Amino acid sequence: MSLQGKHILLGVSGGIAAYKSAELIRLLVKHGAQVRVVMTHSATQFITPLTLATLSQHPVGLDGEDLDEPMRHIDWARWADVVLLAPATAQRIALMAHGFASDLLSTLCLAAECPVVVCPAMNQAMWSNPATQANVARLEGYGVAIIGPEAGEQACGEIGAGRLLTLTEIVVQLTAHLNSAEQCLAGKKVMITAGPTIEAIDPVRFLSNHSSGKMGYALAQAAYSAGAEVTLVSGPVAMSAPAGVTLVSVHSAEQMFNAVQASVQQMDIFIGCAAVADYRPESVQSQKIKKSPEVMTIQLTPTIDILASLNDLPTKPFAVGFAAETQNIKDYALGKLEAKKCDLIMANHVGIEGTGFGSDDNAVTVLGHDLQIELPKQSKTMLARAMISIIADTYKQRKL
Ligand SMILES: Cc1cc2nc3c(=O)[nH]c(=O)nc-3n(C[C@H](O)[C@H](O)[C@H](O)COP(=O)(O)O)c2cc1C
């Protein structure tokens, strides 16, 4: 994960999480960024400008006239590759959503032509208040990225959504956003498999699994947003393909294998996210099997392993696999990384409440040959952005 050389304008507003901005600056600097800080008047009640100036190695921008640099709001906005507001108060979000230029930070945000990323942090009721939600939606409509908040215990003692996202996760998501904004996969061809496969038993019955396809479709959207030409090979799901993505619809593991083989050699990156059946009925009955009181046995035969089959190609794309495990996740996933000769494995924590098949959230550990990144429970959309960013970074390093 690299923010090497990036100019980050960190806006700190007056919430209790303002104390975390000190550690955030250290983390951003550790990842290679140059940081300048602008604090709101209210933020200075929570943490001193001296602390943030020392850590960022740069004077902090504060409200009030600065005769040495009267056009600071424009100059600093032009200096920045990204404006990051962390923490962003409800007040700040409201000001931004309505185009206020009432202090240095709001004026600078209005003048910014670079990406703007907002990390909200507030009491759960303030966050879920329709006024805040409407302001957030309005900002998103203007192209501002909202990262977080997460749910949990709050400083006020209440429990709910509103906590500032963890600092490592802010760095992951910020990098993902910048990678996407910079079209990190421009000119690259990416194939993604998604959803379940269904293996016919007879004309009306089949074997399948609980995969909804949400993760694979989110990956297709994120890869497309990052500039890639995306082919999505999908089993049957209840979703439409993201706009701009080429959809190849299949049913069985064999059809998915054939669809992958048909064009995978032209791909730069292959992401095997589908929950492909490991077995299929050995024979498919041509007529519906009649109900009978007898015990019935269906002989199953293994399907072709799509990910492993890439190793037989003369030119193999950068390969990313998924491992859905309920126990010893890291060990099994590392085994799969070696056995299938993948470049990266996304180890899925199946079994964590509210994640995995069908849910809107997921949590994964990204494992590579010399890489391990934890992506904690979050929406599949955010997770997909982070995954695509890590895939793009690792792919580029491999090509160097
Ligand atoms: C002790 C204390 C903690 C606060 N924590 C938050 C917070 O976490 N999030 C928030 O949106 N507002 C919080 N507020 C309210 C803001 O400080 C207030 O809305 C202020 O006007 C924000 O100004 P700013 O956005 O210019 O920094 C807090 C206020 C106090 C007194």
The pLDDT of residue 156 is: 85
Nearest Cα residue to atom 10 of ligand 1:
89
The pLDDT of residue 357 is: 66
The pLDDT of residue 352 is: 66
Which overall architecture, per CATH, does domain 189-399 show? 3-Layer(aba) Sandwich (3.40)
Tell me the pLDDT of the chain (400 aa) as tens digits: 579 999 999 999 999 999 999 999 999 999 999 999 999 999 999 999 999 999 999 999 999 877 788 888 899 999 999 999 999 999 999 999 999 999 999 999 999 999 999 999 999 999 999 999 999 999 999 999 999 999 988 888 889 999 999 999 999 999 999 988 889 999 999 999 999 999 999 999 999 998 999 999 999 999 999 999 999 999 999 999 999 999 999 999 999 999 999 999 999 999 999 999 999 999 999 999 999 999 999 999 999 999 999 999 999 999 999 998 777 888 888 898 999 999 999 998 776 666 666 677 888 999 998 899 888 888 888 899 999 999 999 999 887 6
The segment(s) of the chain belonging to CATH 3.40.50.1950 are 7-181
Nearest Cα residue to atom 14 of ligand 1:
15
From the CB of 382, is ligand 1 less than 6 Å away?
A: no
**Per CATH, domain 7-181 is 3.40.50.1950:** yes
CA–centroid distance, 89 to ligand 1, in Å, is 6
From the CB of 232, is ligand 1 less than 6 Å away?
A: no
Nearest to 41 by CA among 91, 114, 76, 115: 91
From the CB of 91, is ligand 1 less than 6 Å away?
A: yes
Catalytic: which of 109, 114, 156, 342? 156
Rounded CA separation 260/273 (Å): 12
The pLDDT of residue 399 is: 72
- Which atom of ligand 1 is nearest the CA belonging to 17? 8
The pLDDT of residue 387 is: 94
CA–centroid distance, 14 to ligand 1, in Å, is 5
CA–centroid distance, 90 to ligand 1, in Å, is 8
The segment(s) of the chain belonging to CATH 3.40.50.10300 are 189-399
For residue 77, how far is the Cα from the chain centroid?
26
Q: Which is it for the CA torsion 80, 81, 86, 89, positive or negative?
A: positive
The pLDDT of residue 223 is: 97
From the CB of 96, is ligand 1 less than 6 Å away?
A: no
The pLDDT of residue 354 is: 63
In the block, which residue shows the tokens 């009925």?
Answer: 281
From the CB of 154, is ligand 1 less than 6 Å away?
A: no
Nearest Cα residue to atom 6 of ligand 1:
15
342 is catalytic: no
The pLDDT of residue 42 is: 97
Extended beta strands in the chain, E state:
7-12, 34-39, 82-88, 116-120, 145-146, 150-153, 159-163, 189-194, 199-200, 206-207, 229-234, 246-249, 269-272, 279-281, 300-302, 318-325, 344-349, 361-368, 371-379
Strand, helix or coil at 373?
A: strand
The pLDDT of residue 356 is: 62
- Which atom of ligand 1 is nearest the CA belonging to 92? 25
From the CB of 135, is ligand 1 less than 6 Å away?
A: no
| Cβ 237 vs Cβ 210: under 8 Å | no
- Which atom of ligand 1 is nearest the CA belonging to 89? 11
